[in-house]
Amino acid sequence: MSSLEHAASQALAMMDLTSLNDDDDEGAIRALCRRTDTPYGAPAAVCLYPAFIDAADRELTAMGIRDRVRIATVTNFPDGSVNVERACRETRAAVAAGADEVDVVFPYKALIGGDAESGRALVSACRDACGDRLLKVILETGELKNPALIRQAADIALECGADFLKTSTGKVATNATLEAAEILLGAIRDSGRDVGFKAAGGIRSSDDAKAYLDLAANIMGEAWLTPAHFRFGASGLLDALLATLSGDDIQPTRGGY
C-alpha cells in the first residue's frame, strides 16, 4: 500500500460524511447514509441538520451499521450567535433526538469585536447541555483570520470543555487551512487535554487529506491519529478516497462541504 493509499484509508475511517444543504430532505439523508457502507470500511459519522437525526438513525439501523457510524449534528449554525439560550436549546434538542455528537458554532463575530466572554459562556453552557455526548466547537477560523484570535478562540473552547476543535462551518469563503490547523493542533497539544481536531470545508482530495494527517502526526504523533482524535468534515472527499483506494484516477466532480 502506498503512502497515499494509507492516508486515504485513515481518512475514510476519520470522516464525518456531511450534508448541510438548504435543500436536504429525508431522501437525501437516506442516500448519504447508504454511502457510508463502502468496500473499505465506514466513515466515523454522518453530519447533518438536527431535523434529519431520526431519518439517519432509522437508515443506519436498517443497514446494520448504526453501531459503527455515529450521528453528528450542528447547533448555533452557521451564524455563531451570542444567544446562549438558543444554542443550549438546540443542543439539548439534538441530544434528545439521538445525536451522538454536536458541532456548535463559537460566537466568532463577538470575539472579533473584542467580546471573549460570550464564547466562554456559550461553550460552557453547551458542554452542560451535551451531557455525555461529544461536543465539537466550530471556531470559523477563516473568519477569525488573525492567528492570535484563532489561538484565543481555541484556548477558550478548550478551557470550557470542548471535546474537539473544528475549523469551519463550510459556509464561508475560507474554511479549513493547514495554517489554521497548525494553530488548533498546537493549542490542543499545549492544553494537555485529551481533545480532538476536525478539519472541515474544502478538503476534496486524498492529497489534501494526507497533508492534514501529516501535519497532525508531526505535532501530536502518529499514535494520536484515530477517529477518536481526528475527523474530516466533508462530502466530496469520500469519492476521492474511494478512487485512491480502488486505484481509479478519476477525481470527484461534486463540490460541497
- CA–CA gap between residue 65 and residue 74 (Å, rounded): 22
Active site residue: 57, 136, 163, 166, which one? 166
6 and 245 in contact (C-beta within 8 Å)?
Answer: no
Active site residue: 198, 208, 210, 239, which one? 198
85's grid cell: 439560550
Asked if 198 is an active-site residue, the reply is: yes
- CA–CA gap between residue 53 and residue 91 (Å, rounded): 13
Active site residue: 16, 57, 103, 163, which one? 103
243-252 contacts, C-beta under 8 A, 24 or more apart: 243/206, 244/4, 244/5, 244/8, 244/206, 245/5, 245/8, 245/9, 245/12, 245/40, 246/39, 251/205, 252/204
Beta-carbon contacts of residue 118 (< 8 Å; ≥ 6 apart): 82, 84, 107, 110, 111
Asked if 103 is an active-site residue, the reply is: yes
Listed in sequence order, the DSSP H helices in 64-205 are 84-97, 108-112, 117-130, 141-144, 147-159, 178-191
Asked if 136 is an active-site residue, the reply is: no
- CA–CA gap between residue 68 and residue 135 (Å, rounded): 19
- CA–CA gap between residue 103 and residue 3 (Å, rounded): 31
Phi, psi (degrees; rounded to nearest 5) at 16: -100, 95
Q: Which active-site residues does the annotation give?
A: 103, 166, 198
